[in-house]
Each structure stands twice: as structure tokens, then as C-alpha cells.
Amino acid sequence: MICGKNAKIKRKLDHANLKNIYTFGFVTNMEEQLEWADIFVGKAGGLSTFEAIQWETPILYLPPFLPQEKRNARFIEKSKIGLSIQNNLSAFSQFDDLIFSQFRENMRKMKNELEPEAFLDHIETIDKRRNA
């Protein structure tokens, strides 16, 4: 588990002595980590969410407090690609092989439906409006 700069949750996970769980603090090789990870635990940030989708890694997200994180959390729940984790570790017990495979399949479908060219066109349109 990559905990980023959240030393408190890293300590809790380390002290929980969870079997087959490895914890990391801040990393600079997120792509490599997600390639082998089973679960993404973190904030419901946009970049984090799309990195998890890219690597088809189910998401457990911390309770959001920023407006964009709340929207992302709704997206995660609605898309059935992850679950909210409250201020305890009980959400881990909700994960089983069936849920893993459903979340991964939903992520795979989502990736297949993404149209990168349309997204780039949208970004260019926004950029032109800003510079006009």
C-alpha cells in the first residue's frame, strides 16, 4: 500500500500486521507500483483515480473533503470501481475475489470506452478559450 505523505495511515497499517500487505510512503515510481498492486488506497483525486483505472487496480478511497474529491468519489461509486474506506480498516473485509473481478472488469470497460483523441480536442478547445 502506498500511503504517500500520510504517515498516520502508514503507521496504522504497519501496526495492523496485515498478512501479505506491504506499505510504502511517498513514491516516485507510481506506475511500477500500480503494475503489481491489488488495491489502490488513497484520496479520490482525479489523477489517482485515472492511474488506478489505467492499471485496473480497485480503489479504496478516504472520505473526501474537497469538492472535486467528492465528485470523484461519486464517480468511483457510480462506476463500481471502488469503495469508500471510513476511518477504520473494515472496508478491506468487503473485498473478495468477486468484487475484485467486478471492479477490474468495470475499469477495463471504462478504458476501452475512452477516446483519447476526443479528450485532446476538448483540452485544446479549453486552451483556445483561455488564450482568446
Ordered by where they begin, the domains of the chain are: 7-131 (3.40.50.2000)
* pLDDT tens digits along 35-67: 888 888 788 998 889 888 888 999 988 889 999
In whole angstroms, what is the distance from residue 41 CA to residue 35 CA?
A: 14
Residue matched to cell numbers 483525486:
45
The predicted model scores a pTM of 0.69
- Of 11-20, 42-51, 58-67, 84-93, the poorest mean pLDDT is in 84-93
Across all residues in the chain, what is the average pLDDT? 83
In this predicted model, what pLDDT tens digit does every residue of 106-118 receive, in sequence order? 999 988 877 767 6
